[in-house]
């Protein structure tokens, strides 16, 4: 009897079985992340920003009126990047964020969304909500809770 081919094997056109189920799970997870990332990028890039720039705008917007230090933004990024300053430079050049050196600690730079940055985030919220729905399909509350718990378990204690 011929072993069945898994969906991920078919997607990546792999003829031989995976070495282990863990390897299959890891590759399926990476493939899924890539699919979701590409779908989100298509929506976000239509607004003239990259996924990473959108992530920065979302983080700054969530910080509220007090602003947020640059290093805190870097720590909160979904995809960690060493180039947070360059990302902020580009967003500031487009007048979507503003940065101010903290008067009480000159080593710290605080960031805020500008009015155009806030407007861009508002414009994007509907399409992003739709993309989130597409990313997880028609899963119900219990299934979403299970998925979140499984993904938390995969990430474990963090880096």
pLDDT number for residue 1:
44
Cβ(18)–Cβ(24) under 8 Å?
yes
> Alpha-carbon dihedral of residues 47, 50, 56, 58, nearest 10 degrees?
40
List the one residue out of 110, 157, 131 whose CA is nearest residue 36.
131
Length of the chain: 159
Mean pLDDT, rounded, of the chain:
89
Task: Give the residue extent of every domain in the chain.
Answer: 21-129
pLDDT of residue 119 exceeding 60, the answer is yes
- Which residue in this structure is represented by tokens 């979302």? 58
Q: What is the per-residue pLDDT across 59-93, written as a single tens digit (0 to 9) for each?
A: 999 998 889 999 899 999 988 877 899 999 999 99
Q: What is the pTM of this model?
A: 0.84
pLDDT of residue 20 exceeding 80, the answer is yes
Average the pLDDT over 27-36 and give the result: 91
pLDDT of residue 11 exceeding 90, the answer is no
Tell me the fold of 21-129. Arc Repressor Mutant, subunit A (1.10.10)
Say how far residue 67 (Cα) sits from the centre of its chain: 21
Task: Give residues with Cβ within 8 angstroms of 40, minimum separation 6.
Answer: 51, 128, 131, 135
Alpha helix ranges (H) inside the chain = 7-11, 21-45, 51-63, 70-76, 84-93, 115-136, 141-155
- Which residue in this structure is represented by tokens 């503003």? 98
Cβ(123)–Cβ(48) under 8 Å?
no
């Amino acid at each position: 009897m011929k072993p069945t081919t898994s969906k991920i094997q078919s997607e990546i056109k792999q003829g031989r079985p995976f070495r282990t189920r863990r390897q299959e799970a890891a590759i399926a997870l990476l493939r899924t992340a890539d699919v979701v990332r590409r779908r989100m990028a298509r929506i976000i890039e239509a607004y003239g920003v990259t996924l990473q720039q959108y992530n920065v705008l979302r983080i700054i917007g969530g910080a509220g009126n007090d602003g947020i230090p640059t290093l805190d933004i870097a720590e909160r990024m979904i995809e960690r990047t060493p180039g947070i300053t360059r990302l902020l430079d580009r967003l500031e050049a487009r007048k979507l964020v503003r940065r101010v050196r903290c008067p009480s600690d000159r080593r710290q730079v605080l960031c805020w969304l500008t009015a155009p940055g806030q407007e861009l985030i508002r414009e994007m919220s509907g399409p992003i909500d739709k993309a989130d729905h597409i990313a997880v399909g028609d899963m119900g509350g219990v299934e979403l809770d299970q998925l979140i718990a499984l993904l938390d378990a995969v990430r474990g204690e963090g880096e």
